[in-house]
Amino acid sequence: MPELSEIKRLTRPMIGELIERYGLEPSRALGQNFLCEPGMVDKIVRLSGVEPGDNVIEIGPGLGSLTLGLADAGANVIAIEADRYLIPALNEVMETTGLNERVQVLHADALEVHWDQLLGDDTWKVIANLPYNVSTPLVLDLLRDQPRLTDWLVMVQHEAGERLAADSGNRTYGIPSVILSYWASAKVVDTVSNSVFLPRPRVSSALLKVTRHETLPIDAPFDRYAELVRAGFGQRRKMLRRSLSDLLTSEQMESAGVAPTDRAENLTPAQWGALARL
């Protein structure tokens, strides 16, 4: 059997052994599906474009499968893990490989981290196999609040990835797609088989690449944009003159070049921006 200290990757038997030795019970509520295919880790690292010296935030390192790949590629990683029962095993994995000098393990809930203090004046990439139950709010809230997080490559539930990356006219286009477009562009770059995880998740997974806009293309206040988008998609089958009736008149919509008889899903992010600018 290969040694962890030599290959610096976690294999399926190694993960099984850690789970047993530490008496762990992978939690579905915390989305604990650990990557157990070194080839998949290498693919994520390659697709992320991470380079030696890059600053990387990893949300949900679990037992460290991806953390090892990132640190081995020369990145400086802050790994934020919410489950305190995993931390001793994660620390052991980092120490055994000698990659612990590049990795700071932080026991915290990523939804409650003091991000400003953590990120300082640097820019960061987010590379992570995200906990699926919180992946959409995490991506959208951090895009809004933390401009220092610039490039993302994240594993998410396939459907959530499609929704975040969808363009108008697409079946999955909705609130997450339009909100994300304000801050960034996104693309599903790969789909991922359930077989690369231990335990196997019930849902399928995808890799989502998110690139923050250098200059915001939509010249309108975000809060107003989000308010209109939520109202429009809240009643997505209705025409805008009904769904947005509390917020805009039909004349105002027309003055922004939007037909009041359109539905939310027909409007591009730029058109939502035009409405928000009024």
Cβ proximity to ligand SAM, 24 vs 175, nearer residue: 24
Shortest distance (Å) from residue 186 CB to ligand SAM: 19
Cβ proximity to ligand SAM, 34 vs 173, nearer residue: 34
Q: How far is the C-alpha of 109 from the C-alpha of 255, rounded, in Å? A: 45
Cβ proximity to ligand SAM, 30 vs 126, nearer residue: 30
Burial of 44 (0-12, 13-18, 19+ CB in 10 A): buried
Smallest CA-to-CA distance from 106 within 97, 123, 119, 121 is with 119
Shortest distance (Å) from residue 198 CB to ligand SAM: 8
159-184: string of b/e by CB count within 10 Å (b at 16+)? ebbbbbbbebeeebbbbbbbbbbbbb
Q: What angle do CA 140, 142, 143 make, to 5 degrees?
A: 65
Q: How many CA atoms lie within 13 A of 182 on its CB side?
A: 27
Smallest CA-to-CA distance from 234 within 187, 156, 182, 178 is with 178
119, two tokens: 């990120």
Q: Is the bond preceding 147 in cis, omega lying within 30 degrees of 0?
A: no
Cβ proximity to ligand SAM, 89 vs 226, nearer residue: 89
Residue 133 · residue 233 · CB < 8 Å: no
H/E segment holding residue 212: strand 205-212
Shortest distance (Å) from residue 230 CB to ligand SAM: 23
Shortest distance (Å) from residue 77 CB to ligand SAM: 11
Cβ proximity to ligand SAM, 116 vs 223, nearer residue: 116
For ligand SAM, the binding residues (CB under 6 A) are 30-35, 59-62, 65-66, 80-83, 86, 109-111, 129, 131, 134
Cβ proximity to ligand SAM, 63 vs 186, nearer residue: 63
Shortest distance (Å) from residue 155 CB to ligand SAM: 7
Cβ proximity to ligand SAM, 18 vs 165, nearer residue: 18
Region for residue 64 given its phi and psi (left: phi exceeds 0; alpha: psi -120 to 50; beta: otherwise): left
The SS3 of residue 13 is helix
Within 85-153, where are the H helices?
87-97, 115-119, 135-145
Shortest distance (Å) from residue 211 CB to ligand SAM: 21
Shortest distance (Å) from residue 60 CB to ligand SAM: 2
Cβ proximity to ligand SAM, 131 vs 269, nearer residue: 131
Q: Which residue of this chain has its Cβ atom nearest to ligand SAM in the complex?
A: 60
Shortest distance (Å) from residue 223 CB to ligand SAM: 25
